A and B are shown apart, each in its own frame.
Chain A
C-alpha cells in the first residue's frame, strides 16, 4: 500500500490517530490469540484503552476548532476507480474519538473487578477491545464504505457482548434480535450509500458533506435531483434520507426500531454501560452529524417529530418498569430521542453536547446499577433466595449500605433530570430552548414538539426519582419477607469506586462550562456551533424555569408516592397497561411481523416443494406416462402387428400343413381335385 497523506504537516497527528484507534485492536489480537484463559487479558485491554484515551485527548486539544484534517491510503481498485481508506478529522470526529476511550476507560477498570469471577473473563475483554476498536474507527472514517463496515462491526461486537452468557436462552434471543434489527438499519444505510455514491461518484464524506462539499452544488428541482455528475428522480433523495433514518433508528434505538435495546440488557451490566448507553447507541446521532447537509427541511421535521415521540414514549414506559436495567434502557432511548430531535430542529451543537454529557451520566448510572445488582445477587446467593436481582421491588434502603454509590447516583440522576449545576442541565436546556425557537420559526405548526419535550422532562424527573427512591430509600424490601437475612454489602474496592468518582465528576458542569447556568458559554457548544447562528431571546429565561419547577414538583410527587406512600397510581388502568407492556410494540413485532415473515417463508417453501419441484415431478410423470404409452404401443401395436403377421402366417401354415400328411391316396385325390377344379374353371371362364 502506498501512503498518500494529503497534508504532510499533519502526518504526525494522523499517526497519533491511527495509533489511538489500533491500540484496542492490538489488545483484541493479543487477547484473542494468547490470553483467552488468562486474567492478564483485562489489564492488556485496560492499558490499551488508557493509552488510546491519552492520545485521543491530546488529539482533541490539538485539533479542536482547527481546520479539518484528512488523510487516506489507497485500499483497492475496481476497474479504473480507486477506493481509499482514510480518516476525516473535524470537531465532531475528534470529540467522539476522545469520548469513546474516556468512557471506555472507567468501564474497563470497573470490569476488571466486576467480571473477576466469570469464567469468560478473557473472552469478555477480547470482545470489549474489539468493540472499542470498531467504535473509534467508526468515528474517524472518511469513506462511507468503511464507515459502514465499522458500523456493522460495532453491531457485531455488541452482538457478541449481549450474548456473552450464551447458555442463557434469553441472552441468545436478545443478541439475535439486536443484530437483526440493526441489520434493518444497516440495509437502510447501505441503500443510502449506494444512492449517494451513484450521485456523487465518491465515497469520501468530506468531499460530499464537508465545507464547500458536493452536496452544496446539488439541488432538487421539481422531480429531478441533480448533482454535478448525475441526475435522478428526486424520489431517490427521499429514499436515501429514509435509509439514513432507518440506520439512525436502529442504532440509536428510535421508534420504530427501538425494541432491541431493552432486551440488550441481557449482557453484562458494564457492557450495557459502555455500549448500550454511552457509545454505540450514540453512533446514530453521530451519523446524523456527519450526513446533516444531506437532509432537507421536511426530512429534518420528520426527524424532530420522531425523536420527540420516541423520547415521550420511552419515558412513559420507564414509569412502570420494575427491572432496574430496563428503566435505564428506556431512559437511554428517551434521551437519544432528545438528541435526534435536537438534530431535527437544527440544534446541532446542543444535540451533540447532549450526546457527550449523556454518555458520562448514563454510563455512571449503569455502573451504579451494576453494583446494586451485584450486591443483590450476593444476597440472593448467600441466602439461597429465588429472586430476580434486577427487580427494584426487592430493593430499598441501600443508601446507608452503599454511601458512595448513593452519592454518585444522586449526581447522575440530577444530570439525567437536567437540574442546574449538572452537565445534563446545560445540554438538555439547549435543546429545549431551541425547540421553542424552532417551533416559532415554523409558525407553530409543530408546537406540540417543544411542549411534548418539556412534558417528557417532567416524566423523566418522576421515573428517575421513583427509581432512586425505590432502590436507595426506605427499608430493604427483602427484609420484610425474610427478616433473618444476612447482609454483607459494600461499595466495593477502588476498582469500583474510582470509575464512579471519575464519571460523577464528569457529570457536573465544570467540565463543560464555567458558567453553570448558560450552555452558550460551553466550549463544547461554541466549538460545534461555529457554523450556526445563535439567537438570544426570552426563551432562555422561561424554559429553564418552567422545566426546573416542573421537574422539582414531579420529583416531590414521586417521593411522596414511593418514599412516603402518600398516594399511588391506580393499577391496571389502560395507561398503566400500555406503559408496562411497552406500548405493545414488541408484542406486535413478534406476533405479526416475525410470525408473518416465518409464515411467508414456510409458504414459499411449500410452493417450492409442491409447485416448482412439483412441476419437475409432473414432467417426470408425464415422461413416465409417455414412456408407458409408447411401451404399450410398442407392445400391442408395433409388436402386435408383427405378432398378427406371424399369427396369420402360422395359421396359414397350420392350415397348409394338413395337406402334407404323407398318404399317397390323399395326394392323388387332391391332384385329381386340382385338375378337376382347373378344368371346371377353364370351362366356365373361357367359354
Chain B
C-alpha cells in the first residue's frame, strides 16, 4: 500500500469508526481522533526521513522525480468525438510538498488535542474533523488537477459546519462568509481547470488530461487551444493565459489571504473554535501559498514572471496592512489573525522574487508560520477556554498569575516577531534578502519592496510587545475579579505537552534550518530555473 494513500485515507477510516460507534462511547471519540492524527504524524515523520534528496529528486516539472507516487486510473470515459475523459488518482510529493505535509500532520495532532474543549455533539465534530484532515492532506499530495480540486472543495464542507455549529456568537455569519468567499474563488478555478483540460493532452496516451505536471510543459499544449503558450489565445479580449493565471491567483489569494481578499479571515478565526482556528491558520493558509507556487506559477510561469511586480506589491501591502491592523486590535484572537495576514505577506513577497533565497524563505515561512500560528491560537484558546474572554484590556499582570503560560506566550510572541534562534527569523530574513536580490538577479522586483517589507518586522515587534505589556506585565487586575482569578489556572499537563514540542520545533528550525532547506534545495533550484524559462 502506498504510504501517501495511507496517509490521506487513515482519517477517513477512523472517522467511519467514530460514526458507527454508539453515542454512549462518545468519551472515546477524542482519543480515536488523537490516535488517527498520531498515526498520521508517525507516517509523516517516516516519509520525511525516507525522503530522498539530490538533483534526481527535484520534482517540480519533472514527473519522474516525484516520490511516493501512486497513479491509478480513476474516471475514464470514452466521449466519442470529444476524445477520452482521463482523470487519474495521481499523488506524489517533492521537496515543496513534503515539508508542508509533515507540518500538517503535526498541526493536526495539536488540533486534535485542542479539541478537548469541545463539549457538544462530539460525533459530528470529530467525524467532520477527520474528513477535513483527509482533504487537507490530499490537497498537498494531489498531482492531478481534478483530484486537487476535489480535495480543495471537500475542505469547505467540514469547515463550514465546524465553524457554523461549534463556533462563537456570530458563527453563522462567519461560516457563510468564509464559505462564499472561498467558493467565489474556486468556482472560477473550475472554469480555468476545464480550459486547461481542453488545452493539454497526455503525451503518452494522447488524450486530454488533468495532470498538473503535464500542464507545466508547453509542449503538451494542443496547437491553437485556448491556453496554448504559442497560440496567444484570448478571453474577452485579454490574453488567455494571463486571465487563467489571475483567476487561479485570486482563488489562492483568498486562501492565503492576500489583502484585499482577507476579510473572511478575522471573522472566521474569531468565531471558530480553537482547533478549527489552528487548522485554519496552520494549514489552510499554506494551501493558498502552496497553490500559488505549484499551480499558478507552475502552470503559467511566464505570466508569473511578467506579473511578479504586482505579486510582490500585494505581498508588501499585506505585510504592512496586516501589521497596522493588528496594532489596532483589542481582541487577542483578532490581533493574531491580522498578524497572520502580515506574516503570510512575506510568503508572497518571497515567491514573487523568483530567487532561490526568496522561494526558500517563503517555504520556510510557511512551515514556520504553520507551527507558530498553531501555538498562538492554542494559547488564545487556553485563556478563552477558562474565562470566555479575549479582550486585551480585560487582563493585566497575568505573568504573576500564570507564569508558565506567560513563558509560552513569550516564546510564541518572540518567535513570531522574528527573534533570531527561532524559525521565523531565518524565514523572514531570506524572504527579504531574496526580494532585495531579485533586482540584480532577474530584475523582477524593485529593491524598495524588501525595504518596506522589513518595516513589517518592526511593526510585529510593536503589536506583540505592546500586548505583552498590557496583558501580562504590571500589577494584576482582571475584569472578572476574584472569579477569574480562580478560573485562570496555569497550564495543565495536556496543554504543556502540546505547547512544548511546538516551541522546541520553532527553536530547532531556527538553529538548524537545514532540516527544512536540505529537503527543499533541489526543488527550489528546479523551480527557479523552471521559472526563468531554462
Q: How far is the CA of A191 from the CA of B447 in the complex (A)?
A: 10
Please indicate the chain B residues that have their CB under 8 angstroms from the CB of A534 in the complex. Answer: none
Please indicate the chain B residues that have their CB under 8 angstroms from the CB of A613 in the complex. Answer: 263
Quick one: CB contact mask for B357-378 with A, threshold 8 Å, 1 for yes?
Answer: 1001000000000000000000
Residues facing A in B402-440 (CB within 8 A) are 414, 419-421, 425, 429-430, 432-433, 436-437, 439-440
Number of interface residues of B (CB under 8 A): 58
In the complex, how many angstroms separate the beta carbon of A607 from the nearest chain B beta carbon? 9
Q: How far is the CA of A75 from the CA of B517 in the complex (A)?
A: 11
Please indicate the chain A residues that have their CB under 8 angstroms from the CB of B6 in the complex. Answer: none
- Known A232-B440, A236-B447; judge A605-B263 contact (CB<8 A): no
Residues facing B in A159-210 (CB within 8 A) are 163, 166-169, 171-173, 176, 179-180, 183-184, 186-187, 190-191, 194-195, 197-198
Q: Pick the residue among B260, B450, B454, B528 that contacts A612 (CB under 8 A).
A: B260
Q: Does B43 contact A (CB under 8 A)?
A: no
Q: Does A81 contact B (CB under 8 A)?
A: yes
Q: Identify which of B263, B321, B328, B457 gathers the most chain A CB atoms within 10 Å of its CB.
A: B328
Q: Pick the residue among B263, B420, B451, B469 that contacts A172 (CB under 8 A).
A: B469
Q: Does A150 contact B (CB under 8 A)?
A: yes
Q: Does A230 contact B (CB under 8 A)?
A: yes
In the complex, how many angstroms separate the beta carbon of A162 from the nearest chain B beta carbon? 11
Q: How far is the CA of A79 from the CA of B526 in the complex (A)?
A: 9
Please indicate the chain B residues that have their CB under 8 angstroms from the CB of A80 in the complex. Answer: 356, 521, 525
Q: Identify which of B177, B262, B451, B512 gathers the most chain A CB atoms within 10 Å of its CB.
A: B451
B436–A194 touching, CB < 8 Å: yes
B457–A187 touching, CB < 8 Å: yes
Please indicate the chain B residues that have their CB under 8 angstroms from the CB of A78 in the complex. Answer: 356-357, 360, 430, 517, 521, 524
In the complex, how many angstroms separate the beta carbon of A552 from the nearest chain B beta carbon? 46
Q: Which of A342-350, A373-381, A571-579, A593-601 contacts the other chain?
A: A593-601
In the complex, how many angstroms separate the beta carbon of A28 from the nearest chain B beta carbon? 12
A167–B324 touching, CB < 8 Å: no
Please indicate the chain B residues that have their CB under 8 angstroms from the CB of A608 in the complex. Answer: 263, 321, 325
A149–B421 touching, CB < 8 Å: yes
Q: Does A543 contact B (CB under 8 A)?
A: no
Please indicate the chain B residues that have their CB under 8 angstroms from the CB of A166 in the complex. Answer: 399, 472-474
Question: How many A-B contacts if CB must be within 8 Å?
Answer: 144
Residues facing A in B450-483 (CB within 8 A) are 450-451, 454-455, 457-458, 461-462, 465-466, 468-469, 472-476
Tell me whether chain B's interface is mostly helix, strand or loop, or mixed. Answer: helix
Q: Does B513 contact A (CB under 8 A)?
A: yes
Q: How far is the CA of A661 from the CA of B397 in the complex (A)?
A: 94
Q: How far is the CA of A164 from the CA of B397 in the complex (A)?
A: 14
Number of interface residues of A (CB under 8 A): 51
Residues facing B in A136-155 (CB within 8 A) are 145, 148-150, 152-153
In the complex, how many angstroms separate the beta carbon of B511 from the nearest chain A beta carbon? 9
Q: Pick the residue among A79, A180, A190 that contacts B360 (CB under 8 A).
A: A79
Please indicate the chain B residues that have their CB under 8 angstroms from the CB of A230 in the complex. Answer: 440
Q: Does A616 contact B (CB under 8 A)?
A: yes
Please indicate the chain A residues that have their CB under 8 angstroms from the CB of B437 in the complex. Answer: 194, 197-198
Q: How far is the CA of A152 from the CA of B424 in the complex (A)?
A: 14
Please indicate the chain A residues that have their CB under 8 angstroms from the CB of B498 in the complex. Answer: none
Residues facing B in A221-241 (CB within 8 A) are 230, 232, 236, 239
Q: Does B400 contact A (CB under 8 A)?
A: yes
Q: Does A15 contact B (CB under 8 A)?
A: no
B518–A604 touching, CB < 8 Å: no
Q: Does B207 contact A (CB under 8 A)?
A: no
Please indicate the chain B residues that have their CB under 8 angstroms from the CB of A598 in the complex. Answer: 327-328
Please indicate the chain A residues that have their CB under 8 angstroms from the CB of B399 in the complex. Answer: 166-167
Residue of A nearest to B327 (CB): A601
Q: Does A77 contact B (CB under 8 A)?
A: yes
Q: How far is the CA of A422 from the CA of B457 in the complex (A)?
A: 44
B465–A77 touching, CB < 8 Å: no
Please indicate the chain A residues that have their CB under 8 angstroms from the CB of B181 in the complex. Answer: 616
Q: How far is the CA of A600 from the CA of B325 in the complex (A)?
A: 9
Residues facing B in A6-57 (CB within 8 A) are none
B474–A604 touching, CB < 8 Å: no
Quick one: CB contact mask for B366-398 with A, threshold 8 Å, 1 for yes?
Answer: 000000000000000000000000000000010
Residue of A nearest to B476 (CB): A167
Q: How far is the CA of A379 from the CA of B262 in the complex (A)?
A: 59
- Known A187-B455, A601-B324, A601-B325; judge A169-B436 contact (CB<8 A): no
Q: How far is the CA of A78 from the CA of B517 in the complex (A)?
A: 6
A152–B517 touching, CB < 8 Å: no
Q: How far is the CA of A81 from the CA of B476 in the complex (A)?
A: 50
Q: Does A156 contact B (CB under 8 A)?
A: yes
Q: How far is the CA of A153 from the CA of B421 in the complex (A)?
A: 8
Q: Does A659 contact B (CB under 8 A)?
A: no
Q: How far is the CA of A171 from the CA of B458 in the complex (A)?
A: 21
Residue of A nearest to B176 (CB): A620
Please indicate the chain B residues that have their CB under 8 angstroms from the CB of A615 in the complex. Answer: 260
- Known A79-B356, A176-B466; judge A612-B458 contact (CB<8 A): no
In the complex, how many angstroms separate the beta carbon of A85 from the nearest chain B beta carbon? 10
In the complex, how many angstroms separate the beta carbon of A472 from the nearest chain B beta carbon? 35
Q: Does A633 contact B (CB under 8 A)?
A: no
Q: Pick the residue among B414, B457, B525 that contacts A190 (CB under 8 A).
A: B457
A195–B436 touching, CB < 8 Å: yes
A77–B328 touching, CB < 8 Å: no
A183–B419 touching, CB < 8 Å: no
Q: How far is the CA of A156 from the CA of B447 in the complex (A)?
A: 29
A153–B420 touching, CB < 8 Å: yes
A77–B469 touching, CB < 8 Å: no
B512–A76 touching, CB < 8 Å: yes
B321–A163 touching, CB < 8 Å: no
B421–A187 touching, CB < 8 Å: no
Residue of B nearest to A153 (CB): B420
Residue of B nearest to A156 (CB): B419
Residue of B nearest to A605 (CB): B328
In the complex, how many angstroms separate the beta carbon of B177 from the nearest chain A beta carbon? 8
Q: How far is the CA of A76 from the CA of B514 in the complex (A)?
A: 5
A163–B328 touching, CB < 8 Å: no
Q: How far is the CA of A180 from the CA of B327 in the complex (A)?
A: 13
Q: Pick the residue among B263, B429, B447, B518 that contacts A145 (CB under 8 A).
A: B429
- Known A167-B397, A230-B440; judge A75-B263 contact (CB<8 A): no
Q: Does A385 contact B (CB under 8 A)?
A: no
- Known A78-B430, A171-B473, A183-B461; judge A604-B260 contact (CB<8 A): no
Please indicate the chain A residues that have their CB under 8 angstroms from the CB of B517 in the complex. Answer: 76-78
Residue of B nearest to A612 (CB): B260
Please indicate the chain A residues that have their CB under 8 angstroms from the CB of B327 in the complex. Answer: 597-598, 601
Q: Pick the residue among A77, A191, A601 that contacts B451 (CB under 8 A).
A: A191
In the complex, how many angstroms separate the beta carbon of A263 from the nearest chain B beta carbon? 13
- Known A76-B514, A198-B436; judge A612-B328 contact (CB<8 A): no
B421–A168 touching, CB < 8 Å: no
- Known A167-B473, A198-B437; judge A179-B461 contact (CB<8 A): yes
Please indicate the chain B residues that have their CB under 8 angstroms from the CB of A180 in the complex. Answer: 458, 461-462, 465
- Known A148-B420, A153-B421, A167-B400; judge A79-B465 contact (CB<8 A): no
Q: What are 8 A-B contacts defined by CB distance under 8 Å?
A: A80-B521, A167-B475, A197-B437, A198-B440, A605-B329, A608-B321, A612-B259, A612-B262
Residues of B within 8 A of A (CB): 177, 181, 259-260, 262-263, 321, 324-325, 327-329, 356-357, 360, 397, 399-400, 414, 419-421, 425, 429-430, 432-433, 436-437, 439-440, 447, 450-451, 454-455, 457-458, 461-462, 465-466, 468-469, 472-476, 512-514, 517-518, 521, 524-525, 528
Closest A-B pairs by Cβ, 3 of them: A79-B356, A149-B420, A172-B473
Residues of A within 8 A of B (CB): 75-81, 145, 148-150, 152-153, 156, 163, 166-169, 171-173, 176, 179-180, 183-184, 186-187, 190-191, 194-195, 197-198, 230, 232, 236, 239, 597-598, 600-602, 604-605, 608, 612-613, 615-616
A184-B458, A600-B324, A616-B263 known; 8 other A-B pairs, CB under 8 Å? A78-B521, A153-B419, A172-B473, A176-B469, A191-B454, A194-B436, A198-B436, A232-B440
